[in-house]
Structure 1
Amino acid sequence: MVCSSMGLASGRKQFQNRSARLRAPRKGYILQHASSAYGYVKPSVCIADRLLYSRLPLKNATVLYKRIHGKEWHYMHRFKNLPAHTALSLLIAYAIPSFCQTAYAQAADESAAASDTKAVLVTGSRIPRASKEGPTSVTVITGEDIEKQGYRNVFDALSSQTQNTGMTQGADFGNTFTPAANTISLRGLGPNHTLILLNGRRIADYPVAYDGSVNFVNLANIPSALVDRIEILNSGASAVYGSDAIAGVVNIITKKQVSGIDFNIKAGGTQHGGGSNQRIQLTGGGSSGNLSGVFGVELSRTQPVWSRQRDFMSSTSSDGTAPTRILSRQNVDSGKYVDPGATCSQLGNLFYDSVVRVQSKSGAYCGSGKAQPAFWTTMTQNESENLFGSLSYQLGAKTEVFSDLMLGFNATQNNTRGPSWTSEAVGNSYFFNQNSGANESWSRRISPEEIGAATRYNRKWNDVAANLTVGIRGDIPSTSSWNYEAAYNISAYTSRKTTPLLLNSVDSFFLGPRLGYDADGVAIYAPDPSRLSQPLTPAQFNSITGEAISRDKSWTQTLSLSANGELFNLPAGPVRLAAVTEFGSQGFSNTPDPQINQGVFYNQAAANGASGSRQRYALGTELNIPILKQLVATVAGRYDEYSFAGRNDGKFTYNTGLEFRPAKTLLFRGNYATSFRAPDMNYIYSSTTRGYYSSTTDYYRCQQAGQPLAGCDYNNYSPGANYIQTGSKDLKSENGKSWSYGAVWSPSSNFDISADFWRIQIDNLVTNLDPDTILHNEANCRNGELDPNSPTCVDALRRVQRNPANAIFNPNAIQNILVNPINAAQERTSGLDISGKWRIKAGGAGDFLLKANYTKVLSHHYKQFSDDPDTDELNSLTNADWGSKVNASVTWLRDKWTSTVQVTRYGSLPNADQTARVSPFALVNLSASYQISPQASISLIVNNVFNSVKQDNSAGWPYYPVGNYNPYGRQGWVEFNYHFGS
């Protein structure tokens, strides 16, 4: 049902009686032409009703509304021709603007009759308008879409959208800095170039930087039970929202009006084992006098999927690759392994009975193909509790106070590597064996059987996220169309990470006491070889293992004041203006466990904490100008200034848009916007940070060994090289610009189609120096392809630190890559978005709703320095983003049945070996629901109906494109809903 609130021309004192005959609705459908049941009301008042959410038969019913004058605003309503068995409840409330927006956006998604609706707010503008379609396209995902299209949560729904063409490292990625978080990458520009809002307001970043570099918002903590809808603005919008809104804006809008209590329970799992999950949701609300409220609770639990539970990736040796070393003794001087003989049989029952003696070109060792899969979770374990509450109180006909509170508690566990030990790892990784008289390097991997279970070595995160908003809104006195809102919002995120680590006593556990050092500084031991081959007990493992606990937090707060209304009238209509001023601040801190720097743990580099904060203020304005009845212009401008690290950085951005409607069924639109992004605080305040890349290609050693890249021992090796990263307080803001143009054709309320071309460019891009580029340049400088004395070579050779060429162990191996952020790069991309929907009424066969969305990236170029040639990222074999994406669905509704088939097709990707492309891939989801009674329904949901897994064997285990797809296979759930109350 459409709500008539927020109409700027709605200053009338009389409220006419209205009525509408309602068509028979079915689940998932919005009642058509219902806006005629409402008259104009005051700008800050919205009438809504339970019919919007009802699944009950209402055919030929009539609803009447009438305003009754008096000190307070009241309404009476009357129903005619209601079926005798149907119990209807009409919720009449003074709702906040975002609720009015909710009602409209849902209705507009199903009807092209924009003229029948009144003005509401839509993401991308602060001026209410009468049509969802404006100068820039907006994609809407309803809370019901999340369920019926098979999405597990808010992140799933967003990541499946066609605009999300970028690959991201999420909770199920594996080796990553942020395995307890999920994010998206609109247009393939990275998670830090998409602004994420909750009810139109900023929320705190995840306190640990994505990929160790950029700040982002964690989407794993948004409970789907509380989502009314999600709006995605498909263009830059810094002139409206400020920093970060370069690739687009995602606005997650929670429910504001609920009548009664809704209970939902959902349970399921994967066909091939692991991943069982359960979820309980409880939402409710109501009103008493001038007070109304909504509450929600969501509890969920997910068990992990381990690599060993999927046959195709249960062993790293299934493609003929040599088994991973479990036990080895290497003579460093000769480079040969000391034959373990029958020793391997003593370990044969470890790693699920897979340890064997392996003969290699360097000698024999004990190995297993299940060493890595045994400790790798491809779906993280998670338990979460999310709470939400919203209250509003009507002080009078013109004023309302409101507040929202959301709390989230998340406990996450994952595992990407089991415990392993190498002798004297903090030194040269070898020692002088007094018993053999040789320099030796010993190594040992510890199995799940020896520690009790693989979960004993899980990393754990305990996160708490909180968002609070309080405010007041209403009409500005002595005006007929102006209203205001003043609000304060604060958001905070804390994360406690627990990491199991071997203690520094592990060398003596396997080697015995250190006997001193030889003349070259090499440690001397007289070890007993049986210590290496003897399986450990869980108690022994506990004696050499401890836990490091790090604490991270982030926060943001904003005080805002906004107003909108009519300035004056033109022949084509009123000129409308919106203005906003904001004051805010944000900060973060990363605090590592002090035991790391005290030398408590084995082979741990020094860990330095980091923290910082910054303040900002902003002034913005926006105009909506009806030049002609058919032509409307939008102009917005905003100035933001940030204060950090002892300096100020300001930026003015602007936005212009045109809407031309030569006919009621046709819209031509265009938009040009400038945007910016303040430097990530992690880039600014990061202290010296040490870490490692998930994988690295050492081009120099490949050339040195005379090996082609495809078969090189040093190609894409994992884990990759170590790096040392430092921040920079001299970074400047990024500058962006975007433009788009397109058309929308809606010949009837049952059909519409739109097409939009878009282009986005970022200049002065803040980026860490690309390690792959550094290694490319370094190799070419060493082999003479580039001038060794050129600035590029001097810089590259300085940044790559290697072992000496005459080192006894691992000569010329990379020790560290030195990286730091710079303002140098440019990135630009362009593409095409096409979307459409078609409703078909098939009489007794029911109704069908067809939807489709398509995104095609036409170009994507990047260059690190202004004088560098462009890199074609779209066709690059090192870029794992998709070049195209399609979403399509068919929903069938008949009587008490509703069913949806959802298909997502992903474009091609480079293979893991970066030598060719893997073919496109499609996933099919299915849901079916049955309305048992007016209060109860049951649903069956199946994801990946055809049990498809995209495999890629080109570069070995794990044999699938990690980060782009998942290896779960078919998943299924059963869901039950029940509504308490009228």
Structure 2
Amino acid sequence: MKNNKYVQLGLCAVAVNLALGTSSAFAQEEENIEKIRVTGSMIKRTDMEGPSPITSIDASEIANTGVTDLIGLFAKMPISGQGTFSTQGNSSDDTANGGSSVSLRGLGADSTLILVNGRRVSVSPFAKGIDTAFVDINNIPISAIKRVEILKDGASATYGSDAIAGVINVILKDDFEGVEVSAKYGDTADGGGEEQNVSLVWGSQSDRASHTFILDYFDREEILYGDRDYSRSANQAALRPNDPDAVDFRSSSGIPGTIALRADPTNRIIDTFGNDTCPPADRDPANALCRYDYAPVMTMFPDSERFSFNYMGKYEIAHDLQAFVELNGQNSKSIIRGAGSPSFNELFMDGDNPNHPFADMPSHPFYQQDLTMRRRTVDIGNREKRVDTDYYRTILGLEGELGAWNWEAAYSYIKSESVERGADGFPNSRRTQEAIDSGLWNPFEPSANSQAALDFIETQTTRVGKSTNKSFDVVFSGPLMQMGSGDLMLAVGGEYREEKISDNPDDQFLRGEVFGTEATQANGQRDSTSVFAELAIPVLDELEVQLAVRHEDYSDFGTTTDPKVSFLWTPLDNLSVRGSYGTAFRAPSLHQIGLGRTDESPNLVDTVRCSAVGLACDPMEYTAVFEGNPDLGPEESTSYNFGFIYEITDDLDFSLDYYSYDIENIITSDTQFVFSTFGTDPSVVQRIPTGISGDPGEVVRIFDSFQNLGDLETSGLDLDVGYLLKTGAGDFRFGYVMNYVLKYEEFRPNATGGKRLFLQEGEFEQPELRYTLSADWMMDVWSAAVALNYIGEFDGSADAGFGDKTVDSFVTVDATLNFTGIENTTLTLGATNLFNEEPPYSHHDFFGYVNTVHSGQGRFVYAKASYKF
């Protein structure tokens, strides 16, 4: 198949030559109007308007939002749904610390294609949630962005894999002239999160060349859950005494902890023996547990530091031949904190150990019994992870003209390398057990242990990841023939791409010797070859039809062909109707195919045991062992979009679009389904027999993998209204952007081989309504902007037992004020979440809000100054 890539690319070149020959008779005199390639099309146009629904946000609009990084922008946008994630909530258990990405329509970050200047970017070497491959948009500094274009329908016919939900194309500045220095400082109202940002932009333009350089430095102080009143304790029941349903989420693994019999860990007592005892406030006698409040020291937002450079260059070799270069790079560092590592019955103490807590108590039931324990190793320190990432992107290309045709060819090389180090608070379980056996370390008397003992059990961990993307692409576009209403435009091209990822923890992880954290191991590579074509047909003066098709050949799962048809009809000067229909796909990620054995710690319900023995069916933390699945197939999608744009007056316009997606063979895992369906199969669920009649036994681990087992249907409305009001007191521009989800239904298999409804609109993390209401004002040297951001209510978490609750809507207000009255200078004062609204309460987890949907940053006030010379 690798030899076929050259044949396929060669066929593209033949097609172009034939097209050029055919169109030579229709070549017209060169126009001075610059043609651009709009996101969603390979055909260069003279305007931005096309058949597909596109939202474009320029640098000034981004600045008015007050955001400091790109994820801050997308987190506010109504089109961003569940699966959009920032660094918020990074913890010592996270597998993608420091990364951020966007999920359009709530279809997943791996179903949203991220482009930079129309070309792909390599994925992060560290997957989110062990399997979600994503492009880390933290690699793109705000200062380098010229505009962002968002294509809001499927686009695999144009771009290939991952474009199921749509495309985000980040266009970088390439035409700057002069020098501009900017500095920004901001801080939160409630502590933590202080930010500094400095950028330098330099550019020059000449008749034959242009150069743009951008340097950017960003630093953000960490925010801990302990910095916010509503999350300062994992004991939400104590924080909210008037709510009888609030839960105490403190860990069952405390210090010095809980003592249990090794033969029967359910037979346990709180450690109240000896000099070191469980603090009275942490004792839970009803469940015989010593609790621990981990929330105050856990990261809400990590400490982040990023330094990036960008260069965009063009050089005219000849009148019809131009070379271009793009160089981007960034070093980013993050620090993530968590409470001391918890141990859940992994460690043991023999009955004759010299440190046995009941060695002198022959009448105690645990006398000379082998023991285990729930215990937190706070004595070696709280956990701290440090992530250091280097990102590089190089594009070398040529573009030119052949008669009336344009062509472009480029080679891309993108690399991302990450090192994650467990710097503090991580115990090595093998050495810890040796220290217990030898008497060097006494788990039941922390204050009696020497520094030498603590140094012996503590370790530092290392995880190294690398992701590369190499590609060569070529595209030709131009008029194929003259029709009655204009030129029939054609674009044809091809692309060859090689991708590789590696994510390798150190030997301690591979041997299972590190507890209290999670790490993945994944290695994979693939190459793909694609050919594509696109036609823009001027059927009538008022009607354009666009046809596109792309054929992809992958080295690891086969081929796929995806077509798309779209139209733009303009029956009136002020009214346009548009629509599209197409198929799309997402190739299984290299993480999902090449994942090595990885331990996860999901909260699950042992329905098999609680039904058999009559125990309470409460969610508990279990160990689930995941591995990749090399037999995965692609996800497949059918989507269509229909809408219109109506300019009511010169000052008032709006657009309304209806969208629908039907996705099959979703790659996912459903550990609860596996647990409940195969709970008595020892090859799937490993248990320890208790000897009690009818009791299947306590769970040791659950084995799971990724499968093509889900389907999803979603539809909704996008509304965008704009109004300009000119007055003697300045110009006012009002806007309203809304996304309303009409339907969101995700299906999973049931025990009989059929389907069950797994998730739908309005349920947990799935608000039906999001909108932004904005107003901008400009007069002389002053301008201001204010925006109201609304996220609708949704049901509480049914998995956590709170499906009958409601997570309220969340409204925040952002505001900026700009002054340009000093020559070459712009001064800005602004705030996000101006009124310091707390995120709405959710019962489901210790932090008291839904950190995948709402932000805990609070009010952030900033000042910015820019000087251009």
SS of residue in 1 equivalent to 2:98: coil
Q: Does 1:253 align with 2:253?
A: no
CA contact 2:742–2:761 (8 Å) conserved in 1: no
Q: CA deviation at 1:316?
A: 2.2
Shift of the 567–308 alpha-carbon distance from structure 1 to 2, 3 Å rule, reads same
Q: CA deviation at 1:286?
A: 0.3
Q: CA deviation at 1:442?
A: 3.7
**TM-score w.r.t. length of structure 2:** 0.87
Shift of the 873–359 alpha-carbon distance from structure 1 to 2, 3 Å rule, reads closer
Q: Distance in 2 between matches of 1:535 and 1:11?
A: 89
CA contact 2:124–2:136 (8 Å) conserved in 1: yes
| Among candidates 312, 322, 330, match of residue 400 of structure 1 | 322
The 5-angstrom pairing of residues 444-523 of structure 1 reads 444-447=375-378, 454=382, 457-476=383-402, 479=403, 481-500=404-423, 501-504=426-429, 507=432, 511=436, 513=438
Q: 1:760 aligns to what?
A: 661
Shift of the 573–295 alpha-carbon distance from structure 1 to 2, 3 Å rule, reads same
| Among candidates 746, 760, 766, match of residue 881 of structure 1 | 766
Residue range with higher mean Cα deviation, 565-574 or 165-174: 165-174
CA contact 2:275–2:445 (8 Å) conserved in 1: no
SS of residue in 2 equivalent to 1:670: strand
Q: Distance in 2 between matches of 1:932 and 1:542?
A: 61
SS of residue in 1 equivalent to 2:72: helix
Q: Distance in 1 between matches of 2:458 and 2:311?
A: 43
Q: Structure 1, residues 33-90: CA drift from partner, whole Å, max 9, x if none?
A: xxxxxxx41x7xx4xxxxxxxxxxxxxxxxxxxxxxxxxxxxxxxxxxxxxxxxxxxx
> Going by fraction, where is strand more abundant, 1 or 2?
2
Q: CA deviation at 1:656?
A: 0.6
Q: Distance in 1 between matches of 2:826 and 2:169?
A: 29
Q: CA deviation at 1:339?
A: 5.4
Shift of the 150–513 alpha-carbon distance from structure 1 to 2, 3 Å rule, reads same
Q: Does 1:326 align with 2:255?
A: yes
Residue type at the aligned position of 1:732: G
Unaligned 5+ runs, structure 2:
1-23, 239-247, 360-366
| Among candidates 101, 124, 127, match of residue 43 of structure 2 | 127
Q: 2:599 aligns to what?
A: 691
Q: Distance in 1 between matches of 2:570 and 2:346?
A: 74
Q: 2:706 aligns to what?
A: 821
Q: Structure 1, residues 293-350: CA drift from partner, whole Å, max 9, x if none?
A: 00001101111101111122212235143855322342426824255268458x87xx
SS of residue in 2 equivalent to 1:312: helix
Q: Distance in 2 between matches of 1:528 and 1:917?
A: 46
Q: Does 1:314 align with 2:201?
A: no
Q: Structure 1, residues 552-593: CA drift from partner, whole Å, max 9, x if none?
A: 101111111111111111111111111111111111112221
SS of residue in 1 equivalent to 2:115: strand
| Among candidates 480, 486, 494, match of residue 567 of structure 1 | 480
Q: Distance in 2 between matches of 1:611 and 1:322?
A: 36
- What RMSD, in angstroms, separates the aligned Cα atoms of the two structures? 3.1
Shift of the 898–513 alpha-carbon distance from structure 1 to 2, 3 Å rule, reads same
Shift of the 221–956 alpha-carbon distance from structure 1 to 2, 3 Å rule, reads closer
Q: Distance in 2 between matches of 1:862 and 1:395?
A: 54
Residue type at the aligned position of 1:461: V
Q: 1:387 aligns to what?
A: 309
Q: Distance in 2 between matches of 1:276 and 1:441?
A: 44
Residue range with higher mean Cα deviation, 401-410 or 909-918: 909-918
Residue type at the aligned position of 1:773: F
Shift of the 538–623 alpha-carbon distance from structure 1 to 2, 3 Å rule, reads farther
SS of residue in 1 equivalent to 2:226: helix
Residue type at the aligned position of 2:755: P
Residue type at the aligned position of 1:731: L
Q: Does 1:960 align with 2:849?
A: yes
Shift of the 535–154 alpha-carbon distance from structure 1 to 2, 3 Å rule, reads farther
Q: CA deviation at 1:374?
A: 3.2
Q: 1:799 aligns to what?
A: 684
Residue type at the aligned position of 2:788: V
Shift of the 860–318 alpha-carbon distance from structure 1 to 2, 3 Å rule, reads closer
Shift of the 429–484 alpha-carbon distance from structure 1 to 2, 3 Å rule, reads farther
Number of paired residues? Answer: 811
SS of residue in 2 equivalent to 1:159: helix
CA contact 1:592–1:607 (8 Å) conserved in 2: yes
The 5-angstrom pairing of residues 575-724 of structure 1 reads 575-597=488-510, 601-603=513-515, 609-644=521-556, 649-687=558-596, 689-703=597-611, 706=614, 714-715=618-619, 717=620, 720-724=621-625
Unaligned 5+ runs, structure 1:
1-7, 14-39, 47-118, 349-354, 515-524, 783-793
CA contact 1:165–1:884 (8 Å) conserved in 2: no
Q: 2:362 aligns to what?
A: none
Residue type at the aligned position of 2:849: Y
Residue range with higher mean Cα deviation, 257-266 or 204-213: 204-213
Q: Structure 1, residues 364-422: CA drift from partner, whole Å, max 9, x if none?
A: 85x55xx3123311011111101000111111221111100000101111123323456
Shift of the 631–554 alpha-carbon distance from structure 1 to 2, 3 Å rule, reads same
Q: Does 1:140 align with 2:56?
A: yes
Identity of aligned residues (%): 24
Q: Distance in 1 between matches of 2:287 and 2:158?
A: 63
CA contact 2:349–2:437 (8 Å) conserved in 1: no
CA contact 2:351–2:369 (8 Å) conserved in 1: no
CA contact 2:486–2:538 (8 Å) conserved in 1: yes
Q: Distance in 2 between matches of 1:428 and 1:297?
A: 60
Shift of the 536–199 alpha-carbon distance from structure 1 to 2, 3 Å rule, reads farther
Q: CA deviation at 1:905?
A: 0.8
CA contact 1:557–1:584 (8 Å) conserved in 2: yes
The 5-angstrom pairing of residues 897-976 of structure 1 reads 897-912=782-797, 913-955=802-844, 957-976=846-865
CA contact 1:314–1:373 (8 Å) conserved in 2: yes
Q: 1:411 aligns to what?
A: 333
Q: Distance in 1 between matches of 2:202 and 2:347?
A: 58
Q: Distance in 1 between matches of 2:121 and 2:352?
A: 49
SS of residue in 2 equivalent to 1:932: coil
Q: 1:180 aligns to what?
A: 98
Q: Structure 1, residues 516-535: CA drift from partner, whole Å, max 9, x if none?
A: xxxxxxxxx9x868x62417
Q: Distance in 1 between matches of 2:182 and 2:451?
A: 42
Q: Distance in 2 between matches of 1:726 and 1:667?
A: 50
| Among candidates 129, 134, 137, match of residue 219 of structure 1 | 137
Shift of the 427–745 alpha-carbon distance from structure 1 to 2, 3 Å rule, reads farther
Q: Distance in 1 between matches of 2:756 and 2:446?
A: 54
CA contact 1:165–1:883 (8 Å) conserved in 2: no
Q: Does 1:857 align with 2:741?
A: yes
CA contact 1:911–1:952 (8 Å) conserved in 2: no
Q: Does 1:358 align with 2:274?
A: no
Q: CA deviation at 1:847?
A: 0.8
Q: Which structure has the larger Rg over C-alpha atoms?
A: 1
Shift of the 958–807 alpha-carbon distance from structure 1 to 2, 3 Å rule, reads farther
CA contact 1:127–1:622 (8 Å) conserved in 2: yes
CA contact 1:649–1:733 (8 Å) conserved in 2: no
Q: CA deviation at 1:692?
A: 1.4
